[in-house]
Each structure stands twice: as C-alpha cells, then as structure tokens.
Amino acid sequence: MIPLEDNVGDIIGKAQRGLGISDSELSEKARVSSSTIRNLREGNLDELALSRVAPVLGLSERALRELAKGEWHPEKIEGCDGLAQFNTDYHGMAVNAYLTWDPATRAAAAFDTGADSNEMVRFANRHKLDVQLILLTHAHADHVADLPRLREETGGDVFTPAQEPVPDAELIDEGKRFRLGNLQIDTRLTWGHSPGGMTYVVTGLARPIAVVGDSLFAGSMGGGNVSYHDALRNNLEKILTLPDETIVCPGHGPMTTVGEEIQHNPFFAGRL
C-alpha cells in the first residue's frame, strides 16, 4: 500500500505558508504555545491543540484528527481496466506516473514520466498498448525527468500546459480535448502549485479518472507555491465537483476518489 504523501505536520505547515501565518501569529490566534505548534508539525498528536489550530488555518478538525490517529487511508483502487499507476524514486521522493488506455483499441496515453519510465514502457509493450499521447500535468523536474526516453520508446506526441513549456512539446490551454479510441480526455487548469498545473479528466472507462498531478493528494494537496488561494479554489471547483466515484490519480501518494477527498481531506472536508 502506497503511504499518504503528507502527515498532519506537513498539512499544517502548508496551510501556514499558504496563508502567511507565522508560528507566533498562529500561537496567538489559536491560544496555544509556539512550542505546541512546532510539536504538531513534528507529528505529535495533541487533540486540544488540533481543535484550536484547525479553524485558524481553515482546516477540518475532524479530518486532521483522523489522519493524526491513522484512522483513514483511501481504499485501494483495484480492477479498473484501462488504468495503471507507476511509482518511481526521484532523489528519495516517490513520484507517480500513469497510463490510461481504451481496452477495445489498445490506444493509450501516458501522464507524466516519473523518474524512470522503464516499467511503464515494459507494461505498455507487454499489454500491446499503443501509447499515442504523453500528457504532462506540469513541468516540475520529478514529473518530466524521463521524458526524452519515454518519447523515444513510444513515439507518443507530447503536450504540456501553455504556462509551463517543455522542449519539443506542444503547448495546450484549458479546454483542449483529446480522443483516444473510445476515450475522451478533457483538460482543466488547476494551477496554484505550479503556474499551469493541468488536470486531465478521462471518460469512457467504467469510472471517470482525473489525473491531477500535484494539485491534489490523498488527504492533502500540493503546496500553493504560486498561489495557495487559487490552488484551493481550483481544487474545489474543478476537481472536487466531479462525480464522487471519480478516481483521482495524484503525482505523489496513493490513488483516491473525489468522494473520499470531500469527506476526509482536511483542506476541503466540509466545504462542499
């Protein structure tokens, strides 16, 4: 089972940085000591402190407590014909890439490359998949590290968000639509973690799929490096409004579903 990308300390830190709230300011507003806040960020469970810190940071106290106690992990996604996840190590950080394909025609799309695309290429060859598209969620190094080799091995056409150019890749904007056999892939701009973060919504399989890059994680989200508020808004409006059964494929950590994130993600639980 792939572990969650973030723990409670990571989530509190991301919210603090995104909102520009220092330890001293959070200490004053939440009525807890700065040392207690540091302890929370180090992963120490203090339910009273969580209950006071959460509303100041706009986080769900219930969802934070679930994560702190280890009471929630998304159910493992199994048996979805037309979807495969690949997990590789990039300088000590686990990063995901994905394949989706039409089971009838075997036409396939790769989403990001991870640190090493060998396993993805072997899988495609073994299952006789024709990788026609390479779709990038964003251009951070861990997601495009093996792009030259993946392009060479598959011959797929490469597309990247217009705000994040990559050599020899065609720039695309929100609203671009791809056809892949009987599948349809729509693009939604979910920037905030990066300037052009793109979510790809795949329909035509048994369940809808959203490949979200670092916009959203199981139980967390990517840091709002460009705009925390826009990252939150885009996730709420463009990912979490998809059907509950939609499989969410993040750039790090396990796959999840829209329904689980609405209920259990501290950044969003209770907002929809």
CATH code (residue 250): 3.60.15.10
Whether 246 is in a domain gets the answer: yes
Task: Output b/e per residue, 134-147; b: 16+ Cβ within 10 A.
Answer: bbbbbbbebbbbbb
Residue 142 and residue 260 in one domain: yes
Residue 43 and residue 115 in one domain: no
**CA-closest candidate to residue 96, choices 73, 78, 113:** 113
Whether 198 is in a domain gets the answer: yes
Distance CA 208, CA 45 (A): 36
* Cα dihedral value 75, 219, 229, 191, nearest 10: -50
Residue 29 and residue 123 in one domain: no
Residue 88 and residue 223 in one domain: yes
Whether 271 is in a domain gets the answer: no
Whether 221 is in a domain gets the answer: yes
Residue 158 and residue 251 in one domain: yes
Whether 60 is in a domain gets the answer: yes
Tokens representing 261?
A: 């994130």
- What phi, psi does 223 have (nearest 5°)? -60, 140
Helix axes 23-30, 34-41, angle to 10 degrees: 110
pLDDT at 247: 98
Distance CA 16, CA 33 (A): 15
Domain that holds residue 55: 8-68
Distance CA 188, CA 200 (A): 6
Residue 23 and residue 125 in one domain: no
Residue 23 and residue 90 in one domain: no
CB 211 within 8 A of CB 202: yes
Residue 39: CB atoms within 10 Å: 16
Residue 57 and residue 93 in one domain: no
Whether 269 is in a domain gets the answer: no
Residue 47 and residue 123 in one domain: no
Residue 40 and residue 87 in one domain: no
pLDDT at 43: 84
What domain count does the chain have?
2
Tokens representing 155?
A: 């011959």
Residue where a domain terminates, one of 19, 40, 68: 68
Helix axes 61-68, 47-56, angle to 10 degrees: 140
CATH code (residue 60): 1.10.260.40
pLDDT at 44: 86
Residue 114 and residue 240 in one domain: yes
E strand map for 21-167: 83-90, 93-101, 107-111, 130-135, 157-161
Q: What is the mean pLDDT of each run of 10 residues along the chain (272 residues)?
A: 95 96 96 94 90 97 95 93 97 97 98 98 98 98 98 98 97 98 97 98 98 98 97 98 98 98 96 79
